[in-house]
Structure 1
Amino acid sequence: MAVRDARVHRPWRRLVLGLFALLAIGPARAETLVIAGDIWCPINCAPESAKPGIFVELARDIFAEAGIQVEYRVINWARAISDARTGKLNAVIGAGIQDAPDFLYTPTAPGISRMCFYVAQGAPWRYQGLGSLAQVRLGTINSYSYGQEIDAYVRMHRAKGDRVQVVSGEQALEMNVEKVRFGRLDATVENSWVMENLLARTRQQDRLQSAGCRAPDVPIYLAFSPAIEASARYNALFEAGLQRYRASGRLDALMRSYGVTTP
């Protein structure tokens, strides 16, 4: 009888031991996708904000549908590109293809960068093509791409600093705005969504004005690291989500919630 009882209870003992083993290991860790960039609101805004940015919300919602958590970090743009290139991050937010040609990009661009030039209120200068930049001291941001022609112009003139000044850091745009306001720069160039958002938040709409925009507009993306094997899968998941959100009108609604419209 004792032997039979032992055989009957042995499966229960194995089950209990298995449960203890699972508890010791702990719960399975959720898959996490780390995305980063410097603040470029409304594309990506303060992480603790109720409105963390258009691209951040898109990434969180689309990847959540696949059971993947998104961790959003704010770091210097040049470092974000470098860290993603070496696989320390999964993706950078708001990159143009010129920013990192070796990264993975979705066929569908979730947004555009319309680069416009901004001068102090009342200043007479207007952007009329690349040749007109010779008339101004232009403020730019390190490692940003403004399109092939302007990028070439920046590379040619940044060393001397008399025609192009380059700044870095999380407050780079604010620095360029201040320089224009106080006459240390004649103009700065920035994405129109970003500049309008900044001027509205800081109540400086009457301090700077648009002096014309570069054409054509440049598509911007959530650009995935070339050093991470899973990037191809993430890229495909994000593309499928963008297609669904565009077809359902959800992408338009998200854009409108940030005060912009889908191009």
Structure 2
Amino acid sequence: MRKFRNGWAALLLMAASGAPAWGETLIITGDVWCPINCAAKASKPGIFVELAQQIFGEEGIRVEYQTVNWARAILDVRQGRANALIGAGRDDAPDFLFSATAPAISRMCFYTQPGTDWRYDGLASLATISLAVINGYSYGEELNGYIHAYEHDNTRVQTAAGDQALGINVEKVLRGRANATLENTWVMARYLSRRAPPAVLRRAGCRTPDVPIYLAFAPKLASSQRYMALFEAGVQRYRENGRLRVLLASYGLRDGEL
């Protein structure tokens, strides 16, 4: 009986102090965007996944990582079926909760076949090409407007969806079915190097400005404010003590590298 009472006392103390309850799980989700987030069962699941696992693990919170297509990931977090969206920019889901500190910055560049001379130089330069993009992605206000305006014109914009959207777009460019695609530089470099057989695409200019990316928390869940505060404190702490730099290095990247 004494042990039983002590157990209840411990639970009450945890509840009063805001400490995590036993068995607390936080679900994070996104499409595979490696090295930011990789295959769920990979030995290296991705920078943001490991960062979340480490920060929340210190608070006794288990992180469950799920991969779905991007549009589904946004919907799952928006409706509260998952706690946070991985690698989101503020334009991806403006209603989500974003911490003050972004763990990383995303540089999005245009890629074409080697040997071509087209280069991105503002929206007017897109008029002569067919651009392959991914359904549900935000590419910034200006490019989003262009994509929306021509989403039903395959000679200007082609949209891929599903778990293999990046691979589909790369194949379109390699086979000449699209002139260019737009992707994060980390993600594209990793994909091309690991493709079988490896492929080479030409970088043909980049979107500006570069965009901060976050772990974005569900707007409808009461727990989101607490999780966001814990993650913000963890990111700041890891920047100060060098753990974020070590994590990036484990993926072959340097802090501040794009």
Same fold (TM over 0.5): yes
**What is the rounded CA distance, in whole Å, between the counterparts of 1:204 and 1:219 in structure 2?**
32
Structure 1 gaps of 5+ residues are 1-13, 23-27
Give runs of aligned pairs for residues 132-211 of structure 1, distance below 5 A: 132-202=125-195, 206-211=199-204
Please report the TM-score for the alignment, with normalisation by the length of structure 1: 0.88
* 1:79 matched residue in structure 2: 72
Provide Cα deviations, 1:28-75, integer angstroms capped at 9, x if missing partner. 741000000010000000111111000000000000111100000011
Letter in 2 for 1:234: Y
| TM superposition shift of 1:261 | 2.1
Select 1:243's aligned residue among 230, 233, 236.
236
Letter in 1 for 2:75: S
**What is the rounded CA distance, in whole Å, between the counterparts of 1:207 and 1:15 in structure 2?**
68
Contact 2:87 2:214 in 1 (8 A): yes
Contact 1:121 1:206 in 2 (8 A): no
| TM superposition shift of 1:117 | 0.2
| TM superposition shift of 1:255 | 1.0
**What is the rounded CA distance, in whole Å, between the counterparts of 2:32 and 2:22 in structure 1?**
29
Contact 1:40 1:194 in 2 (8 A): yes
Select 1:228's aligned residue among 211, 217, 221.
221
Does 1:41 find its partner at 2:8? no
Select 1:57's aligned residue among 19, 26, 50.
50
Letter in 2 for 1:106: S
Letter in 2 for 1:241: G
Contact 1:158 1:165 in 2 (8 A): yes
Which of 1 and 2 has greater Rg?
1
Structure 2 gaps of 5+ residues are 9-20
| TM superposition shift of 1:204 | 5.9
Q: Percent identity?
A: 57
* 2:12 matched residue in structure 1: none
Q: CA RMSD in A?
A: 1.7
Select 1:31's aligned residue among 15, 24, 31.
24
Q: How many residues align?
A: 243
Bigger mean CA offset, 197-206 vs 105-114: 197-206
| TM superposition shift of 1:140 | 0.3
Letter in 2 for 1:165: Q
- Structure 1 residues 206, 38: CA separation in 2 closer, same or farther (over 3 Å shift)? closer
* 1:124 matched residue in structure 2: 117
